[in-house]
Structure 1
Amino acid sequence: MNANFETHDLGTPGLDKAGPLDGFEYSSFRNPGIVMQPERLAAFQPSRISASRALIAQMIRERWSFRCKRFSIARDGLGEALYEVEARGYVFSFPIYSFRPSKEGRTGRIIGTAWDMMGAMVEGRLSDADFAATRRELPKLYRGRATPLTLTWFRANRSGRVFDRCVEALAKGQQPEPEMLWKAGYTMRNTGLDGNGTFGTRSFVTLEKDHPLRWALSAQMLSAYMMRVFAADLVDHFAQLDGGDQAVTLAPGLRRYLGVGNGSALGLMYFVNNRPKLVNRWIWIREKSIARAKMLDVAAEPALLDRLADGLDRLATFRAEDMTEYGRYPKSGDVAQELQAIAAEVRVLKSRLHAAGAAPLAAFSAALEGRYSDHAVESCLSALIDLVPEYAQAQVQSLVVDEEVTGTPEMTVGQLRKVLGTEYGWCWQIDLQSTEANHFIWYKSRNAEEPRRGPRKDIDAKHGLGLDLPRLVLTLDAALAGVPADTSIARFLVAHPDLRQITTRVQSLAGMTYHSPHANIMAADFVPAHITKCLNSGLHGLDKTVDSLDRVIRGILFQGAPLPEEVMAGTACADWSAPPRSESIKQEESLA
């Protein structure tokens, strides 16, 4: 492959087509050549830009209401429930169908055929006919069809041991052991959440401009939140059936601590490839929020540094108490020590503000690089975003993305080569020639309906999913090099129809420099878990994201998040993330 390093640089952040720069200079944004490295993406941490945290912030700000309209479930698990959520004048119905637990066909993957619960989110108040139709269609899954105005279908399984022990304790009039709940983090785990056209659900791009769930991933996050609500209600319900008058309900402090379990694997690599505009837009608004925080005038408002240091202390405590084994990623205790050291540096910065230059947080953040791990630095950047909560929330509301890719046939060959040279320079700077660099091929499993990767020697290339971005870019550039620079792309594609897809992709994403990981995902040493962890931890907002086999990431959503009744009463805590282990224990002791 051509290694023309002189004319292909790492790229600089270009103009985001989705919105203005808000007065920021390009220099305020981090170089995509650093940010888009897989190892750095894996270090992204939950923040106010994460979908789960942004949804809770919106719930609190807008005082959403939650009601259980029906709850009829037998002790064996068979039955149904119905919830309604009102948000900004919109009503959403959540029909829930509960089943008897079964080991046969039970799996955390999308190929499962048996679940402990299935549910849907439907706009408006659900009619009896649509409730029955949804109950009939949901178990069919890929053969089923959603009713009109359905936004999502979802399914989940109980965490058997923890779920059962909670029920046993509550039935006896006791609270479950806080330490057990701290270690587990959930009593039900998500096994599938689909929408945006799947199964006939409503496409999100058709949502009205004032729709409260118009921004990307908000509908999925609300569905996951309602899984959490149902799981806790089911625990209380079974305890009452077993214990009668002596049964108690789960204490608010413990209930708040329980989130929803979640696991993701290779499918998220396919998501990144198919949703480049969403990936770009999310990382872009994250970088904008970080840049805004770095520009804060902390000399005029030194209390901001106290908030930053306190936020780092909170994260350090959360990490120090977390005994989870993270595989290839840094030990939580090590990150905790780094965060404590960074918090101490923040306090030193406050004491020396008189000698600090302009934008001291920008210089402070830059000075962290190389002295602390990527995970600690990204944790600090997440804490920085907490200093601009209103700005961050406004950015999330702008996360409305049309993923359609369209070509520009009038563009010239010379113009397209310039885009390749400035925005895809990394493709020339990685090994694509060695045997190890071409070890894997990505394909779709016929049985599992999931993306897979396997040794190229074992799989026919015709089954490949076309995810080989760097090689496609170099192939395109080589073909363009043999054509006069003033030739139109329309004429070029007449002669090279096989390059239409990569050409259209490059044209559609021109100027968006945070859309694709800078990686050769076919290489033997590529770690898919890096990308999965970025999406689960950074984009979705999962905590305790554990790597398994370098390709599966498991974690917890909404651990510590406010309860529906707190949101409705206006007593919900906006700073709920990273709850300390001792908090749930203290709350339980106060109830004893």
Structure 2
Amino acid sequence: GKFGIYDFKPLDHSEDFNQSFRAQMCAVYLLREFSLDWVDFLAKKKGGNKAVALHPEIKRYLGIGNATGLGMAPYLINHPCIVDQWLTTREEAVQATLVCDIESEKVAYFSSLLARAIQHFTEIVTINEQQDQLNATVVIELSVLQSKLMNMIEGHKTWAEFLQAHDHLSFESQEVIISCLMELYPERVDAFQEKVNADEALSLPKGKVIQDLLDVLESRYQWAITIDFDEPDNRYWFWYRSVDKEEPRMGVRGQEPGDDRELSLDIGRQAKNLYVALQQADPQQLISEFMLSKPKYRSIARRVWTMGHKKMGDIQMNVLHKHTPPMHLLRCKLSMFGATKFDPRSDRWVRITLFQGAPLFNEVHSDEWLFPLLPNLSTKDSFTENSSTQTLPTQDSTITKEV
């Protein structure tokens, strides 16, 4: 829980909530169901016997909206082991799918998912011109792929070969393809949901010398140690926490107040400073001896060693650079929660939707709800599940906008 409302540790033995963020996502789903019930309750209170319940398809389509700002970005930086575990697990799930041979029944299902994805991206509304263009590109690229799918699959034995053959597509389109592929093999993918927890300890083993740490930096942190942080653009921003709301903010270094309270999110700069300091030391000196004389490097040294030996490691981004968009950090984490309808409102906050299209409490089925679509209510249908007298008017643009 936020600010220590409840620790995660006591949930270790809970089958339902023993994986990270399951409790939070369950709460979001419960809020969605409560909100839908609340709408029906208020309508009944106001309209009495004339009240009409929300159509089940509309209920199913409605999700929980969320606006996320800079507060999420530091999480990815301050919890590198969790991020590594999430992304590594996801890559393992993808790999379990890609090794499968392409079979005709899977191709048919894949084609139907592509069709849903095309319609889904067509229905997304965003005021962000760049994101709107990215969505339009997805629709164009996937429409071409879907229309010629059988020809494009011919000659490829595995899905890995198929995906590799389409690495020229935009990243957005490639990620949609990967999402569709993972849906084809739940028996292979679902088990990975039990592997998202991580040990967050950052440590340095005993007996290691300076050269050992230099080797890690040179092999895994080239993205950091090659940056010239004397260049103004490479240290343009500073991150701090606001006094009133205790929320992360960004300020322009040298122009805005607050840099005296700068947050330690500059992992790239810290790694570079560590590298420069280590180069001036005896390569065979024990790291422990070095840290006794220069304790300010202890934290970054533990991080570099730990993350340098993990599969994914640190996010390779200089968050101080003038043209680094925090939006990428926000989207990275939100994607792990199954967020849809990505709608950036600026480069610092974004709107998304959770559980849109998900089954309701009274529905136990295996229908696919990846890429939720606007309900097709163009024909007269029952507004309530137990009454045939109340009908929904033909859907028009007004209804669509309200939905």
Please confirm whether the aligned pair reaches a TM-score higher than 0.5, indicating the same fold.
Answer: yes
Q: Does the 8 Å CA contact 1:542/1:556 hold for their aligned counterparts?
A: yes
Determine which of 76, 88, 92 is the counterpart of 1:288: 92
Aligned to 1:336: 139
| Paired AA for residue 113 in structure 2 | G
The alignment's TM-score, normalised by the length of structure 2, stands at 0.89
Alignment of 1:589 with 2:381, yes or no, is yes
Q: 2:222 aligned with 1:222, yes or no?
A: no
1:347 aligns with 2:150: yes
Residue 261 of structure 2: which of 442, 447, 463 is its match?
A: 463
Cα 1:309/1:429, change in 2 over 3 Å: farther
Among 201, 212, 222, the residue aligned to 2:16: 212
1:578 to 371, 393, 400: 371
What is the deviation of 1:283? 1.0
Match of 1:514 among 283, 305, 312: 312
Q: Indicate yes or no: 2:173 matched with 1:376.
A: yes
Instruction: Deviation per CA, 1:304-341: give whole Å up to 9, x if none.
Output: 22222221111011112334334322433331121122
- Matched residue type, 2:185: V
Which residue does 2:270 correspond to in 1? 472
2:214 matched to which residue of 1? 417
Tell me the SS of whatever aligns to 1:462.
helix
Q: Which residue of 2 aligns with 1:564?
A: 361
Deviations 1:112-166 (A, max 9, x none): xxxxxxxxxxxxxxxxxxxxxxxxxxxxxxxxxxxxxxxxxxxxxxxxxxxxxxx
User: Which residue identity is paired with 1:308?
Assistant: F
Trace 1:493-532 onto structure 2 (pairs within 5 A).
Answer: 493-532=291-330
- Residue type at the aligned position of 1:393: D
Structure 1-normalised TM-score? 0.62
Q: CA deviation at 1:345?
A: 4.5
2:308 is paired with a residue whose SS is coil
The alignment partner of 1:484 has SS state of coil
- Given the superposition, is the C-alpha separation of residues 199 and 523 from structure 1 closer, same or farther in structure 2, using an over 3 Å criterion? closer
Alpha-carbon separation, structure 2, partners of 1:209 and 1:343: 45
CA distance in 2, matches of 1:402, 1:574: 35
Q: Which residue of 1 aligns with 2:122?
A: 320
**C-alpha distance in 2 between matches for 1:249 and 1:531:** 40
Distance in 2 (CA, whole Å) between partners of 1:470 and 1:513 is: 18
2-structure distance, mates of 1:390, 1:461: 51
Matched, 1:432 2:229: yes
Distance across 2 between alignment mates of 1:347 and 1:203:
51
Q: C-alpha distance in 2, partners of 1:589/1:429?
A: 63
Amino acid at match of 2:314: S
Give the match for residue 97 of structure 1: none
In structure 2, the residue corresponding to 1:262 is in which secondary structure? strand
CA displacement 1:410-433 (0-9 Å, x = unmatched): 322111111111111111344533
What secondary structure is seen at the aligned counterpart in 2 of 1:454? strand
Answer whether contact 1:307 1:387 (CA < 8 A) is retained: yes
Q: How many residues align?
A: 382
Alignment partner, residue 256 of structure 1: 60
Alignment match, 1:308: 110
Give the RMSD, CA atoms, in angstroms: 2.0
- Displacement after TM superposition at 1:574 (Å): 4.1
Q: Residue 199 of structure 1: CA displacement?
A: 4.4
The C-alpha deviation readout for 1:425-454, integer Å capped at 9, x for no partner, is 111344533212211100111112101110
Q: Is the 8 A contact 1:432 1:520 kept in 2?
A: no
Which 5+ residue runs of structure 2 have no aligned equivalent?
384-390, 392-403
Distance in 2 (alpha carbons) for counterparts of 1:546 and 1:580: 16
Rate the CA distance shift 1:345–1:432 in 2: closer, same or farther, 3 A. Answer: farther
Separation of aligned partners in 2, 1:405 and 1:377: 33
CA deviation digits over 1:86-105, x for unaligned, max 9? xxxxxxxxxxxxxxxxxxxx
Give the strand-richer structure, 1 or 2. Answer: 1
Partner of 2:80: 276
CA shift in 2, pair 1:586/1:418, >3 Å: farther
> Structure 1: which amino acid aligns with 2:76?
V
Partner residue of 2:189 out of 380, 384, 392: 392
Q: Contact 2:43/2:51 (CA < 8 Å) preserved in 1?
A: yes
- Please name the residue that 1:235 is paired with: 39
Whether 1:549 aligns to 2:346 is: yes
Gap change, CA 1:527 and 1:431, over 3 Å in 2: farther
SS for the counterpart of 2:189 is: helix
Partner Cα distance (2:130, 2:175) in 1: 17
Residue 456 of structure 1: how far off its partner (Å): 1.0
Structure 1 counterpart of 2:62, which letter? L
In the alignment, the residues of structure 2 paired with residue 587 and residue 419 of structure 1 have an alpha-carbon distance, to the nearest angstrom, of 63
The separation in 1 between residues aligned to 2:353 and 2:91, in whole angstroms, is 24
Task: Tell me what 2:388 maps to.
Answer: none
Give the counterpart letter for 2:124 in structure 1. D
* Partner AA of 1:378 in structure 2: E
Q: Distance in 1 between matches of 2:149 and 2:187?
A: 23
Distance 2:124 2:132 in 1: 12
* Other-structure match for 1:32: none
